[in-house]
Structure 1
Amino acid sequence: MYGLNTFTPPKSRPWYLLFLKEMTSGFALLLWFAGIASFVAFFTEHKNEDVRFVLFACHKNFSRFLFLFHSHHHHYYYQAYLGGALIFTVVMTGLFSYYQQMSSSKVFKSFKQMTPQYAFVLRNGRKQEILAEQLVVGDIVYCNAGDRIPADIRIIHSDGMKIDNSSITGESKPLLRTIERCDDDNQSYLEASNLAFFSTNCTDGNGIGIIIATGDNTVIGDLASIVSNIGEQTTPIAREISSFVNIITIISLLSGALFFGLTIYFGQSIFNAFILMIGITVGNVPEGLLPALTVVLTVAAKRMAAKKCMVKHLEAVETLGSTSVICTDKTGTLTQNRMTVEHLWFGGDSYLNRGEMFCLDEEENEHIKQRLDWLSLKRCAMLCSRAEFLDDNPIIKNRKTLGDASETAIMKFLEESIGPVEQYRQLYPKLAEKPFNSTTKYQYSIHRKNNPNTGLFSSHFLVMKGAPERILERCKWRVNDEGKTFPIDNRFITMFEDVYRDYGSHGERVLAFCDREFTNEEFDEYYQFDGKNLDEIIELNNLRFLGLISMIDPPRPDVPNAVSLCRQAGIRVVMITGDHPITAQAIAKMCGIISIEHRGTSIASLRSTTSIINNQRSIVVPGNELEEMPDDDLRQVLESYGEIVFARTSPKQKLRVVEQFQALGEIVAVTGDGVNDSLALKKADIGIAMGITGSEVSKQAADMILLDDNFATIVIGIEEGRRIFDNLKKTISYILAGNVTTIYPFILYAVLGIPLAISTPTALLIALGTDMVPAISLAYEKSENDIMNIGPRNAKKDRMVDGRLLQRAYLTIGIMISSAAFFSYFITMWYHGYDPLMLIYSQHRWNDPNDTFPIRELYTNNHINTTLNERMTIQIEAQSAYFTGIIVMQWMDVIVCKTRRVSIFRHGMSNWVLNFSIIFETLIAAAFIYTPALNHVMQTHPIDWRCIVWTLPFMFMLFFYEEFRKWIIRKFPSSFFGKELLA
């Protein structure tokens, strides 16, 4: 009737518009300009019969045109042929880019399906978890702090439930929700206190509501069309690539115009000047770069997804690679989030839980179970909890639950040792509740107690749990084993602190419990707690202390190694937790955040900050001391300590730590799972939310979501981010080095008048054919083995395309490749009787149909006259030799591009995509050189095999040069040459 609880997606652009965009973006416009200019030049310079010949031939049979082109003075129709080749290039590049964009889009759509929103709903008399999109009008849903409201709902129960309505009304302060009816006719429904709207966030408390609208019928659904019209933000990677495209385009146009002018100045014809301008312009354009980069990023995104890391924004991966500080939570991220009850302390006695209730004999256990102090603690632990069982699995530890790890551990312990928790809770109905939050660090609930004999109302009482120090400060009384109440004295406080410290030193999380009985004068039977601010009507003092329950949540097995890898990579791992400093210190040592050998850990007062800094290397900073610390002192602590743990912190303090790290120039990654973490997640350079335990609010604020909630996945992401950055640089370097080899022939043509060593079709073949697959194969290259042994890159200085990369591509590798190709070119010319010195300033005679330009016979030194067609055939063969020289050198270029620092002997040749690409490149080149039909299409000619042999020394020279360069980088990384040679 109502359909799925989803928005109707906005109309997507038609495929032909997306395709058109690909053919008119990046370098495409430059190629369109060159192609159209070629046709314009042809139609303006040639006779009408030539134009009719071309149009007629193309109309009747394009292959017939190619044959005529090569058999009837094809240089006359060169502009038309060039224009057709350039436009064909634009169309094919557009098709490839369009396909890759569609593939990339599918990847990121699949990411959204990895973290669907769920909702708890009452169906068939049971609380169930279902997909939010399956909700319908009339469903009763449960909302807790940190949840996103799954539809428009009418509140029917509220326990201090507050909603962030800022996305709809602009009201930044969370608003209390009540069940009270709105009787003001002039009040907007958006301001009604008994309504909560889809996509807003529950920031505090909890509530129950009945769905009144779903999907497009919600308030936010009415705004969806407006939102869909907002343009997407350009990512940093896209901006950097766009900037690079603009720079190359400007260089292409300016250099083309410059050499056009120089050619005219040196007295060559406008035709020759035009050919040179088009060649220089096209030669500067790395036509295959953008499609190759698209593939690199798509492959990286798929790899991240396979490693349980969902990237909401692609640039987040690259940012993660430059992270220098990780501020991480403890529970669930560093630890397994599988808490079990370890110790209980009540009546002055401590008990260890090991399956049997108190690790005592059966008779002693039964005696303890009858103690009134235990019964009071048991009642408080059972009732002051929001955890619930979602199934009836007979194996209690395997039951699915709703609730945080601590409450779940206590509930399962009580279910196993006492009996059904839910039945016990029904004896004491919950009337109101104040949920736990990281600021107050406690929670409480109010319950009704009936007379066991009559079943009539007896009184109300409060049960409360939280951080032990927060609970103790509100208690004036304690209870003994007979249920008698005594004032809390110094002796008891000392015992409490000793036990608390002992539990915490073993990495146990400790909760304290207390209660209070209300008189009927305070709250009678008919008092309505629902919808009221409990903190205003209840004085949280004069409470009765009941005891402690500790839980152990061991670190994940792979976390110590992950922290060690971060330390090797120059990344500091800082724990920011709400746990007690002693517990935080113990877990930090287990995880390796605080090294065992560092004995200088301090939990002392930081009022004498300087003296502590001078004597310590690692430190635990409690939240109360952090609150009093000025920003300057905090920054001094952050700079001076290598290992830091912040304990008992609030969300605002977590945000402050992040801000101060950023003020020091650090790139900060922050993990978070709660609604209160959203500020720090947004402020961080990269926010990382938990996919399993994370609230919807934290997931919305984050840039990345860990689908397995595992800290080790962050380290994998950092390595992947560095790998992506390295592979992007490798891809760009490889493409530019091959690209520049198509420019140098035009420069020699303009400066020395040497006949062109490369034709435009073969230049395009290099950019879009032979170089494309090897460039894409670098996306699959594994990380270099030292990638996690070097410090984070400086995102402001170490750019993807910098001067060192351009110098290596254009002036070092590019010149080596061009030298080998020119050697093949001149050797071929020499075989046909043209000495290299004869070719200097020979362009006028070479293209003159009336000049016989004699060649010198190789062995007799006799001079033989030549025709223009014979010279064109010789030039095409020499151009084919130049093209082959580039291919041979690019074999080695793609191999040396596999690493930026590590020797290829150590790195290996395990990238089979790259290995295949070399074979593919070779087969493509051979097909165009030795296939007669393709010879006509691409202006190529079979060459002598000796041309390839002459290229091999250059290839090995390139290899040894690169190995020497990388050796200097590894041996002297901090030296001038070590830094300048790293590209």
Structure 2
Amino acid sequence: MNVIEETHSPVIVGDPRENMQSLLRDLRARPGGLSAEEAARRRVQYGPNALPTQGGPSWIRALTRQLVHPLALLLWGAAVLAGLSGTPTLAIAIVAVVLLNAALAFWQEQQAERSVEALAAFLPPHARVLRDGHVVELDAVEIVPGDVLLVDEGATVPADARLLDGAVEVDMSALTGESVPVIRTAGETDAVAQLLHVPDAVFRGTLCTGGTGHAVVFATGAATEIGRIATLSHGVERTDSPLERQVRRVAWLIAAVAVGVGLAFLPLGLVAGLSLPAALVFAVGLLVANVPEGLLPTITLALAVGVRSLARAGAVVKRLSAVETLGSTTVICTDKTGTLTANRMQVHQLWTPHADIRDAADIPPGDGHVAALAEALARCTDATLDGEHDTGDPTELALLRFARIHVPARGALRITVHRFDPRLRRMSTVDRGTERREVSGKGAPEAVLPLCRLSDAERATAESVVAQLAGRGLRVLAVAHRPLGDTVPADRDAVERDLRLCGLVGLLDPPRPSVAPAVRTCHRAGLRVHVVTGDSPLTGAAIARSVGIGDDDSAVITGDELAAMTDEQLAGRLQTDGEVVFARSTPEDKLRIADALSRGGEVVAMTGDGVNDAPALRRADIGIAMGKSGTDVAREAATMVLTDDDFATIVRAVEAGRRVYDNVRKFILYIFAHAVPEVVPFLLFALSGGAIPLPLTVLQILAIDLGTETLPALALGREPAEPGLMDRPPRRRSEGVVTRRMLIRAWAVLGPVSAALVLLAFFSVLWRAGWTPGADVGHHTYLQATTATFAGIVACQIGTAFASRTERVSLFTVGLFTNRLLLIGVVFEVVFTAALVYLPPLQAVFGTAALDGWTVALLCTFPPVVWGADELYRWLVRRG
């Protein structure tokens, strides 16, 4: 009988040593756990069970990073040139831009990091403890010294504790670096020099890989061993994601181009007759015009927004870089139970040697044919039924609920348990009943039937029933038992032999309604889905077909068949067999599958929930752990955690990853397109040798790049998914964030059209004032002309922003007004520009002048012309 189920408190096996009694006395603890009132008092006394966080000037490093990235260094150089050219006002303005931009980027990065940290609230670490004699699940931070923990397989130990009963296998590598798990047993002597080697002690942050037990907490928070180490440790430096590294390379390219253009045209300006100060101002203008100041902070914010949107959809992403990786996923390897299915197991059908297959719901309580089967199920389980405190695997809970209908709970005493082994695919227990000791076992039919005493005819009948049940999509378990004498063999093989078959149980876990549509979406998006399950081949294939994964001719590979394959054979099957069902698979098989797919160039998303799934989750490009049914170990190893355990959430995450990556490209296109109309006026001024006045000032460029450009760029990072997003194949792993087609749109379509319109506005003001090339320009006329250039670039920005909203389809397909943030950004642009043009204090700073109605009317035509030109280009591309 399970200790918790019978007494709600641990039974200490054997006589505890005097030092354990002393520990309980010193902690003022008892085996039944603390009372809620006492625990609350100790929480105040000892504080939360949380590791110390590193303080210090990390924000200084983060801010410094913004001041020395390549684009900032370029602006620092421009400020120096401006100072040398005798224009201190311009130098001060550029320095102010660098500082303001760094502050903005720093703030956005901090907000992004806080957003990621805040996601921990979705999945706080939990632990099961005894409070007031009952098992309760608490946030790990609520644990206090004196609490009695339930330590079992798959759980991370939440505090330092000493075992009161039981034995557990613990992975101590987090503290000792040793990869081999150690055994910790209650009541063992602790005559050792170091606390870490005490044979009945378990420590915070270590992983229980087997066994169960109860342990009394003696240290929490910073007082734990790992807390002590954390106090002495330094934080790990933040690393850029692949996307951020790509963008940084683009930034260096931009810097090189800007410096090269400036150096090339500086002597050209001197040859054309410009004075040295004028030539330096010209060079500074080229530098500033080529620097997209808002690029890096906008990307950081877009990734953070993607993380938050995924969290709302049920996918907690643990690092920003995973968002872009999701967008390029090509293969999903998914578990079956709880991911494809609803994880609501119930006994649906069963068979015994004395009766045909029957529906479980039709079997009345007390049926003599199922009594032995129900008795074996009640004993051979780690689950507990306790009203609101039911605990255990969903399959075991379903079996135990069925057993309780047909046999009452008895006071059996468990003597030995051989826990479920994924390689053996079975478990067994030895219990002392009212009359005798008895072995009870359950597991996969192919693992249990060979251990049973059956005639050839009986074995053939059982195997035929297994095929029938599995063919109906049921998970099939064989249940067996046998009496024992007074001696219990220590060897597992000696216990699990000469069994008597009690019957076969078929459990139904129906597919989630959301899975079939999600699988169809995967297929449209060019993603393959492989099922990796521990169930039988028939059951796995039936569930896979029911949700649209594979077909009747799809390959089904068992764990034994996989073990017999070489890595080259496995890779060949994965490349040629379409979607595959891997049945009777072990966690080690998952690792091989992930390796084979990665070597084939696939971007792999792999699900898992168990302790042994951790290596495969780490090896996959995207490791996905289950939030509800997964272990702490799996969640720690994964890149993403599903709060609802639903396969459809994975597909939504892939779609969100694609959308975020597309949006990054959209605002990069938007920023790149503005370089042409900002650079062309300076080139025109230099190439004319000053015969054409400078159409744009550096301060006006700064007002554009930092003022009018920023909000629309951020709004494009929030753009809804473009139609057809999941109807195209995944992007190649080698594809960069900046593509040839993007540069053509930016520098051959949007940029030149905008530059032509901007120059039209500039010259229209001059021509209406009677200006001719080489003639002097009146001061007010010149101010109006440069203001028209400035306002023209802003007007073209509006058209570019709307054009950038789609990469392939027409804007009408998306809708003109579906991005409200962009509309707000456009309104801000117009208001900001009007303020610079019409408010006298700002006119004096930025060298602007009020525009007449005719010029304003001309500028109003620019946005639709720019957007229309790009719309025509995209239409031609679609036709071609």
Global fold match (TM > 0.5): yes
> Which of these residues, 363, 373, 377, is aligned with residue 377 of structure 1?
373
Q: Distance in 2 between matches of 1:351 and 1:947?
A: 87
- How far did residue 804 of structure 1 move? 3.4
Q: Distance in 1 between matches of 2:863 and 2:65?
A: 40
Letter in 2 for 1:405: P
Assess if the C-alpha contact under 8 Å between 1:143 and 1:206 holds in 2: yes
Query: What residue is the counterpart of 2:474 in the other structure?
Result: 508
More displaced stretch, 535-544 vs 323-332: 535-544
Query: What residue is the counterpart of 2:310 in the other structure?
Result: 304
User: In 2 relative to 1, CA 540–727 (structure 1 residues): closer, same or farther, beyond 3 Å?
Assistant: same
Q: Distance in 2 between matches of 1:950 and 1:128?
A: 72
- How far did residue 344 of structure 1 move? 1.8
Letter in 2 for 1:883: F
Is residue 2:700 matched to residue 1:762? Answer: yes
More displaced stretch, 623-632 vs 222-231: 222-231
Is residue 2:419 matched to residue 1:442? Answer: no
> Which of these residues, 448, 458, 462, is aligned with residue 492 of structure 1?
458
- Which residues of structure 2 form unaligned runs of 5+? 1-44
- Residues 314-362 of structure 1, C-alpha deviations (whole Å, 9 max, x = no match): 1111101100000000000010000111012113423534645x1xxxx
Q: Residues 776-791 of structure 1 correspond to what in structure 2 (within 5 A)?
A: 776-791=714-729
Q: Residues 219-234 of structure 1 correspond to what in structure 2 (within 5 A)?
A: 219-234=225-240
More displaced stretch, 29-38 vs 697-706: 29-38
Secondary structure, aligned partner of 1:761:
helix
Q: Distance in 1 between matches of 2:56 and 2:361?
A: 59
Letter in 2 for 1:471: V
- How far did residue 589 of structure 1 move? 1.2
Q: Distance in 1 between matches of 2:867 and 2:237?
A: 47
Assess if the C-alpha contact under 8 Å between 1:896 and 1:962 holds in 2: yes
- Which residues of structure 1 form unaligned runs of 5+? 43-78, 359-364, 392-398, 452-458, 477-487, 524-533, 601-617, 843-852, 855-869, 973-983
Query: What residue is the counterpart of 2:441 in the other structure?
Result: 464
User: In 2 relative to 1, CA 19–230 (structure 1 residues): closer, same or farther, beyond 3 Å?
Assistant: closer
Q: Distance in 2 between matches of 1:207 and 1:262?
A: 82
Q: Distance in 2 between matches of 1:884 and 1:535?
A: 86
Q: Distance in 2 between matches of 1:962 and 1:437?
A: 62
- For the aligned residues, what is the CA RMSD? 2.2
Is residue 2:188 matched to residue 1:181? Answer: yes
- How far did residue 967 of structure 1 move? 2.9
User: In 2 relative to 1, CA 507–893 (structure 1 residues): closer, same or farther, beyond 3 Å?
Assistant: same
- How far did residue 933 of structure 1 move? 2.3
Query: What residue is the counterpart of 1:581 in the other structure?
Result: 537
Is residue 2:397 matched to residue 1:386? Answer: no
Q: Residues 650-669 of structure 1 correspond to what in structure 2 (within 5 A)?
A: 650-669=586-605
The number of residue pairs the alignment matches comes to 833
Query: What residue is the counterpart of 2:294 in the other structure?
Result: 288
- Residues 398-426 of structure 1, C-alpha deviations (whole Å, 9 max, x = no match): x452111111112222334544x4xx2xx
Is residue 2:873 matched to residue 1:896? Answer: no
Q: Distance in 2 between matches of 1:679 and 1:20?
A: 37
Q: Residues 140-179 of structure 1 correspond to what in structure 2 (within 5 A)?
A: 140-159=148-167, 161-179=168-186
Assess if the C-alpha contact under 8 Å between 1:140 and 1:209 holds in 2: yes
> Which of these residues, 817, 841, 844, is aligned with residue 936 of structure 1?
844
User: In 2 relative to 1, CA 942–522 (structure 1 residues): closer, same or farther, beyond 3 Å?
Assistant: closer
User: In 2 relative to 1, CA 713–879 (structure 1 residues): closer, same or farther, beyond 3 Å?
Assistant: same
Structure having the higher Rg: 1
Assess if the C-alpha contact under 8 Å between 1:205 and 1:434 holds in 2: no
Query: What residue is the counterpart of 2:23 in the other structure?
Result: none
Query: What residue is the counterpart of 2:507 in the other structure?
Result: 551
Query: What residue is the counterpart of 1:749 in the other structure?
Result: 685
Query: What residue is the counterpart of 2:94 in the other structure?
Result: 86
Q: Distance in 2 between matches of 1:238 and 1:226?
A: 31
Letter in 2 for 1:309: A
Q: Residues 510-909 of structure 1 correspond to what in structure 2 (within 5 A)?
A: 510-522=476-488, 535=491, 538-595=494-551, 599-600=552-553, 618-753=554-689, 754-796=692-734, 798-835=735-772, 838=773, 842=774, 853=775, 871-909=778-816
Assess if the C-alpha contact under 8 Å between 2:482 and 2:499 holds in 1: yes
Query: What residue is the counterpart of 2:40 in the other structure?
Result: none
Assess if the C-alpha contact under 8 Å between 1:206 and 1:435 holds in 2: no
- Residues 736-793 of structure 1, C-alpha deviations (whole Å, 9 max, x = no match): 1123321122222222223211111110111111111111111221111100000000
Assess if the C-alpha contact under 8 Å between 2:795 and 2:862 holds in 1: no
- How far did residue 802 of structure 1 move? 3.2
Assess if the C-alpha contact under 8 Å between 1:156 and 1:179 holds in 2: yes
Q: Distance in 2 between matches of 1:522 and 1:816?
A: 88
**Percent identity of paired positions between Structure 1 and Structure 2:** 34
Assess if the C-alpha contact under 8 Å between 1:343 and 1:350 holds in 2: no
Q: Distance in 2 between matches of 1:108 and 1:442?
A: 40
- How far did residue 927 of structure 1 move? 2.0
Q: Distance in 1 between matches of 2:564 and 2:877?
A: 46
User: In 2 relative to 1, CA 382–954 (structure 1 residues): closer, same or farther, beyond 3 Å?
Assistant: same
Task: Using structure 2 for the length normalisation, give the TM-score.
Answer: 0.91
Assess if the C-alpha contact under 8 Å between 1:885 and 1:948 holds in 2: no
Assess if the C-alpha contact under 8 Å between 1:164 and 1:202 holds in 2: yes
User: In 2 relative to 1, CA 321–18 (structure 1 residues): closer, same or farther, beyond 3 Å?
Assistant: closer
Letter in 1 for 2:50: T
Q: Distance in 1 between matches of 2:876 and 2:455?
A: 70
- How far did residue 891 of structure 1 move? 1.9
Is residue 2:72 matched to residue 1:28? Answer: yes
- How far did residue 248 of structure 1 move? 1.9
Assess if the C-alpha contact under 8 Å between 1:888 and 1:948 holds in 2: no
- How far did residue 552 of structure 1 move? 0.4
Letter in 2 for 1:28: A
- How far did residue 953 of structure 1 move? 6.3
Q: Distance in 2 between matches of 1:503 and 1:546?
A: 16
Secondary structure, aligned partner of 2:82:
helix
- Residues 532-586 of structure 1, C-alpha deviations (whole Å, 9 max, x = no match): xx54684422222211111100000010000000000000011010000000111
Secondary structure, aligned partner of 1:546:
strand
User: In 2 relative to 1, CA 226–247 (structure 1 residues): closer, same or farther, beyond 3 Å?
Assistant: farther
> Which of these residues, 260, 273, 282, is aligned with residue 254 of structure 1?
260
Q: Distance in 1 between matches of 2:634 and 2:870?
A: 47
Assess if the C-alpha contact under 8 Å between 1:151 and 1:214 holds in 2: yes
- How far did residue 280 of structure 1 move? 1.1
Q: Distance in 2 between matches of 1:930 and 1:885?
A: 15
- Residues 37-56 of structure 1, C-alpha deviations (whole Å, 9 max, x = no match): 423443xxxxxxxxxxxxxx
Q: Distance in 1 between matches of 2:156 and 2:184?
A: 15
Query: What residue is the counterpart of 1:475 in the other structure?
Result: 452
Letter in 2 for 1:755: P
- How far did residue 188 of structure 1 move? 3.9
- How far did residue 920 of structure 1 move? 2.1
Secondary structure, aligned partner of 2:279:
helix
More displaced stretch, 3-12 vs 111-120: 3-12
Q: Distance in 1 between matches of 2:861 and 2:575?
A: 52
- How far did residue 293 of structure 1 move? 2.2
Query: What residue is the counterpart of 1:74 in the other structure?
Result: none
Assess if the C-alpha contact under 8 Å between 1:149 and 1:199 holds in 2: yes
Q: Distance in 1 between matches of 2:575 and 2:596?
A: 10
Query: What residue is the counterpart of 2:826 in the other structure?
Result: 918
More displaced stretch, 725-734 vs 192-201: 192-201
Letter in 2 for 1:220: I
Assess if the C-alpha contact under 8 Å between 2:549 and 2:579 holds in 1: yes
Task: Using structure 1 for the length normalisation, give the TM-score.
Answer: 0.82
User: In 2 relative to 1, CA 537–594 (structure 1 residues): closer, same or farther, beyond 3 Å?
Assistant: closer
- How far did residue 390 of structure 1 move? 4.3
- Residues 908-955 of structure 1, C-alpha deviations (whole Å, 9 max, x = no match): 121111122222212221221122222112111122333344456665
Assess if the C-alpha contact under 8 Å between 2:127 and 2:139 holds in 1: yes
- Residues 268-311 of structure 1, C-alpha deviations (whole Å, 9 max, x = no match): 22111110111111111111222322332232222111111111
Query: What residue is the counterpart of 1:612 in the other structure?
Result: none
Query: What residue is the counterpart of 1:190 in the other structure?
Result: 196
Q: Distance in 2 between matches of 1:235 and 1:662?
A: 19
User: In 2 relative to 1, CA 536–380 (structure 1 residues): closer, same or farther, beyond 3 Å?
Assistant: closer
User: In 2 relative to 1, CA 415–809 (structure 1 residues): closer, same or farther, beyond 3 Å?
Assistant: same
Q: Distance in 2 between matches of 1:217 and 1:156?
A: 21
Assess if the C-alpha contact under 8 Å between 1:309 and 1:713 holds in 2: yes
